[in-house]
Amino acid sequence: RSGEMAKSTQLIDNEVFRAYATYAAIVLLKMMLMSLVTAYYRVTRKAFVNPEDAASLGKGDSAKKYLRTDPDVERVRRGHLNDLENIVPFFGIGLLYALSGPELSTALLHYRIFAGARILHTFAYLIPLPQPSRGLSWAVGYAVTFSMAYKVLKTVLLL
């Protein structure tokens, strides 16, 4: 049993992997928070999509009027989908990158910039800030992920 545990902690004892795990957990949690923001706007704006959700606000026709879209709700949902489209590739490529043996300082630079850019992106989307705030923060995160993918393919390529 202790032999197994020793094996399982090898990866987590590696500093680059620890940095990856820290930032991956942070951006995944940030993405998950979008669900709570969506729920908050749905309840406060009274804008639902499922009849069983609106049912708590009234019966029959009085509940039906809450089955509607709301601009604030839709905005948060777009931000959430954008997170899925960008944070999920970061998680995957960032993991392969962490295992490809980068310098700790270089890895930290990638992870920190990505996390910062995605947090800025969320604020730019939800407030919303005028463009190009959202566009630039998106592009920075995108470029960081491409940079890591380049390092991964250069290191491991086996087609």
Contact call for residue 119 and a second copy (CB under 8 A) = no
Residue 35 or 44 having the CB closest to a second copy: 35
Q: Residues 75 to 104: which contact a second copy by CB under 8 A?
A: 75, 78, 80, 84-86, 88-89, 91-93, 96, 98-101
In the block, residue with structure tokens 């601009």: 71
The angle that helices 15-45 and 104-126 make with each other, rounded to 10 degrees, is 10
Contact call for residue 7 and a second copy (CB under 8 A) = yes
Q: How far is the CB of 149 from a second copy (least distance, A)?
A: 5
Q: Residues 12 to 41: which contact a second copy by CB under 8 A?
A: 12-19, 21-22, 24-26, 28-29, 31-32, 34-35
Helix (H, G, I), strand (E, B) or coil at 48: strand
- Report the candidate in 124, 123, 141 with the shortest Cα–Cα distance to residue 132: 124
Residue 62 or 155 having the CB closest to a second copy: 155
- Report the candidate in 48, 27, 41, 22 with the shortest Cα–Cα distance to residue 122: 27
Residue 35 or 62 having the CB closest to a second copy: 35
Which helix (H) or strand (E) is 155 found in, with range? helix 133-156
| Measured distance CA(152)–CA(143) in Å, rounded | 14
Contact call for residue 2 and a second copy (CB under 8 A) = no
In the block, residue with structure tokens 């270089």: 106
Q: Which two tokens mark 2?
A: 């202790």
Helix (H, G, I), strand (E, B) or coil at 104: helix
Contact call for residue 153 and a second copy (CB under 8 A) = yes
Residues at the site binding a second copy, with contacts judged by CB under 8 A: 4-5, 7-19, 21-22, 24-26, 28-29, 31-32, 34-35, 49-50, 52-53, 55-56, 75, 78, 80, 84-86, 88-89, 91-93, 96, 98-101, 112, 128-131, 134, 142, 145-146, 149, 152-153, 155-159
